[in-house]
Structure 1
């Protein structure tokens, strides 16, 4: 029996130490978020010229918010930038939206590229390749179609691009929208996602998502341009990894990325989370063990058993207190990131928070059970290390 007892003690100590570490993560995210986010944007000194920025906008299809999202890029308060719209299919209705905006804002430098280039398996890079090659400025901003900008967002990002920084990215967040799905998205991006993102930036760990990222074009050209990352679906992660390996620093800007997609549904959001989980498992395999343990309900249950075994504490009381404190810290973190009044009441937050926490382990298990990644109309399989191959539909004879 002695080996069994020692093994149980080992697991109990491991769970308890990991549980304590999660509270350190919570506190770092709270204090770092309060210090880092929503700083007042300062103008560059008069003698310092503003670097030009080429903004790549890969587009596919039209949603109800596309026009207003793209319009915010035409009205930014920044002196030197160009808009490079990339559309894979010439008949895509997004082309008409771009043409309407270019006619409405003729003084803003903008170009439209259609057709893309087949340089690899990643459809986003294939779409952006012509625009990237035509970009004329030293800084490149890759921005997804669902991103909405404030007038000073670009200035905020450029001001973070100091001499030792190679990439400035925005922490994912969402605009205020109506409905439970919108509440669920804001709760996720303002709690679980924000916590990891802020701590990763504090510790200078690669946690980059490519929905809104400003980078030095020369550094990408050094390794062969964006087509060098076209063998990956998570090109953002490997691009950031390449910069980090060459000694460049990455940081988040003080403004989060305001996602404002016109399609806001629970099923599509959960499919997105599942796809991200599949990518993380392929790129960083140790997340198979660490990610489930990072969830409130899972680590709380493990820690409750651990303290009952080690200290003879009441596991049920411990578990309920654990959930309550985690919940309160998440509310505080979300309020910091929102930087204003939340668009829902506390009851809506409770429902959204509980739904997200309870469904997260299921989504992760689903990602492990079905590793194929479905992205729009395409299906991919990932090898260990993140290299992707497209699975072509079988042709019936």
Structure 2
């Protein structure tokens, strides 16, 4: 019996399409359930001695957009037992006066500024954080980027998710990390900023929440993460399970935050290490990390997306290779082609119906995270940015997948296997790249 190859491909295409819709709807419904009701934690009003202490670590570098309000959001947390450590690599950094002003404004908050970095690898964020990491008074650490602002109840609800109430009937999986889905807030009306907003608040959030709901593997973006230093001191980024049954067993090579200085995406590697090396799990709290997006041009957006595609390519190659087939435009073509062959449905009808339904689900996710529907004042801008994001997804992917050099905060890096990086000389022109070999200088890893 002769097999009709086109029939087989069309059937596979529809199955793939249905599977991606199932993932998208899972993310949409999970967002509704998790984020549309954010109850106040009982820890917010508990005595200080009865709750776990938390050290909030915030690395600072220059004047990020909305920096004062971002930092202030950690000074007003409704939690009775925490300290704040603000890390500044250079005493001439422009963020330092902002930090000092907030300390003067909130004298009752236990806050210190740690000046001076320690080079443990190529990652400048880790180098900036190492001293604060070592000087933190508490085991629970909340590492939060300087361009993020959070609700006053975030810390209490996050500690709830990390520690959790004991249950005599239902055994609870050990939670090693609590993270928050990023939610973009645009303060400057630039095209790159609007596209970033449309991406983070719809498709990215939908897939991020769905993957973490299924929880088959680690999937963490490190804008705002809570974990225990005692857990981090047992792992080193090897992703090899610790074989010992001792609950305090650690990897043989140096562990802790300095061990992750060799990775560009240290947040993702820390999460993966806690998952694979300790066999622990992660959890999302019902709060978002409000990522304040400043003056982002279209070029900034393209290179930002390309940078993380190149990093992911060296960390999760299989998932990165199938990524184009999960995007809306490619999916619509797969669906339309399959339906045209199987049912004779016109291509334009299938594509239009797909896009209308897809954007409806995305806007529902936006409403869940924001706590309100998309404001009418930005409806057309957001819609145009959403469409631009969908149309740009494949070209950006094709641009990114064939390279391994990235630029982050003005520095050039060569991405290696498993997401490790080396500092690189920044390329000056395509002609010089042809004539002169790149010179990659390994950074010392004093751990």
Check whether TM > 0.5: yes
Q: Offset of 1:261 from its aligned partner? A: 4.1
- TM-superposed CA distance for 1:290, in Å, is 1.5
Distance 1:323 1:120 in 2: 44
Q: 1:208-228 deviations in whole A, cap 9, x for unaligned? A: 011100111110112321111
Query: Does the aligned pair in 2 maintain the 1:66–1:261 contact within 8 Å?
Result: no
Output aligned runs, 1:170-249, within 5 Å.
170-175=180-185, 177=187, 179-181=189-191, 182-204=193-215, 205-223=217-235, 224-245=255-276, 246-249=278-281
- The separation in 2 between residues aligned to 1:262 and 1:161, in whole angstroms, is 31
**What are the ranges of 5 or more consecutive residues in structure 1 without an aligned counterpart?**
none
- 2:248 corresponds to which residue? none
Stretch moving more, 70-79 or 8-17: 8-17
Q: How does 1:212-291 map to 2 (within 5 A)?
A: 212-223=224-235, 224-245=255-276, 246-291=278-323
Q: Is the 8 A contact 2:59 2:87 kept in 1?
A: yes
Residues 328 and 390 of structure 2 are in contact (CA less than 8 Å); yes or no, is this contact kept in structure 1?
yes
Distance 1:86 1:347, change over 3 A: same
For the residues of structure 1 that align with 2:230 and 2:387, how far apart are their CA atoms? 45
3-state SS in 2 of match to 1:301: helix
**2:252 alignment counterpart:** none
- CA shift, 1:51, in A, is 0.9
Shift of 1:372: 0.7
Deviation for aligned residue 1:264: 4.1
Paired position in structure 2 for 1:333: 365
Please give the TM-score of this superposition, normalised by the length of structure 1. Answer: 0.93
Once residues 356 and 231 of structure 1 are traced to their aligned partners in structure 2, the CA distance between those partners, rounded to angstroms, is 31
Query: Deviations 1:12-37 (Å, cap 9, x if unpaired)?
Result: 23222111111101211121111111
The DSSP-based 3-state class of the residue aligned with 1:92 is coil
Q: Where do 1:112-131 residues align within 5 Å?
A: 112-131=113-132
Does 2:49 align with 1:17? no
Measure the CA separation in 1 of the matches of 2:116 and 2:227.
24
**Alpha carbons 2:46, 2:80 under 8 Å: kept:** no
> Separation in 2 of the partners of 1:379 and 1:389?
9
- Structure 2: which 5+ residue stretches go unaligned? 165-173, 236-254, 427-437, 440-447
How far does the alpha carbon of each residue in 1:320-362 deviate from its partner, in whole angstroms, 9 at most, with x for none?
A: 2111111211122211221114344432232121111111111
* Residues 326 and 341 of structure 1: CA distance in aligned 2, closer, same or farther (over 3 Å): closer
Once the two structures are superposed, residues 295-344 of structure 1 have per-residue CA deviations (whole angstroms, 9 ceiling, x without a partner) of 11111112211222233332221122111111211122211221114344
Residue 40 (structure 1) aligns with: 39
Evaluate the alpha carbon distance shift between residue 324 and residue 221 of structure 1 in structure 2; reply closer, same or farther with a 3 A threshold.
same
Checking the alignment, whether the CA contact within 8 Å between 2:188 and 2:294 is kept in structure 1 is no
Match of 2:53 in 1: 52
Q: CA deviation at 1:138?
A: 1.6
Q: Deviations over 1:215-250 (max 9, x none)?
A: 111101123211111111111111111111212110
Q: Which moved more, 1:152-161 or 1:280-289?
A: 280-289
RMSD: 2.1
> Which one is further off, 30-39 or 344-353?
344-353
Output the CA distance in 1 between the equivalents of 2:268 and 2:194.
27
Give the structure-2-normalised TM-score.
Answer: 0.83
**2:53 is the counterpart of 1:78:** no
CA distance in 1: counterparts of 2:65 and 2:162, whole angstroms:
33
The 2-side partners of 1:162 and 1:358 are apart by 42
TM superposition shift of 1:369: 3.3
Structure 1 residue matching 2:196: 3-state secondary structure: helix
Distance across 1 between alignment mates of 2:295 and 2:84: 24
SS class of match (2:50): coil
**Deviations 1:66-100, CA, capped at 9 Å, x for gaps:** 12211221122211111111112221111222122
Match of 1:351 among 375, 384, 398: 384
Inter-CA distance 292–64: structure 2 relative to 1 (3 Å threshold): closer
Comparing 166-175 with 337-346, which one deviates more in the overlay? 337-346
Partner of 1:87: 88
* SS class of match (1:286): helix
**Aligned-partner Cα distance in 2 for 1:174–1:354:** 17
Q: Any idea what the Cα deviations from partners look like across 1:160-208, whole Å, max 9, x if unmatched? A: 1135211000001023545254443332112111111111111113110
Q: What SS does the aligned partner of 2:388 have?
A: helix
Question: Which residues in structure 2 correspond to 1:319-330 (within 5 Å)?
Answer: 319-330=351-362
Secondary structure at the aligned position of 1:171 is classed as strand
Aligned residue in 2 for 1:106:
107
| Whole-Å separation in 2 of the counterparts to 1:60 and 1:42 | 32
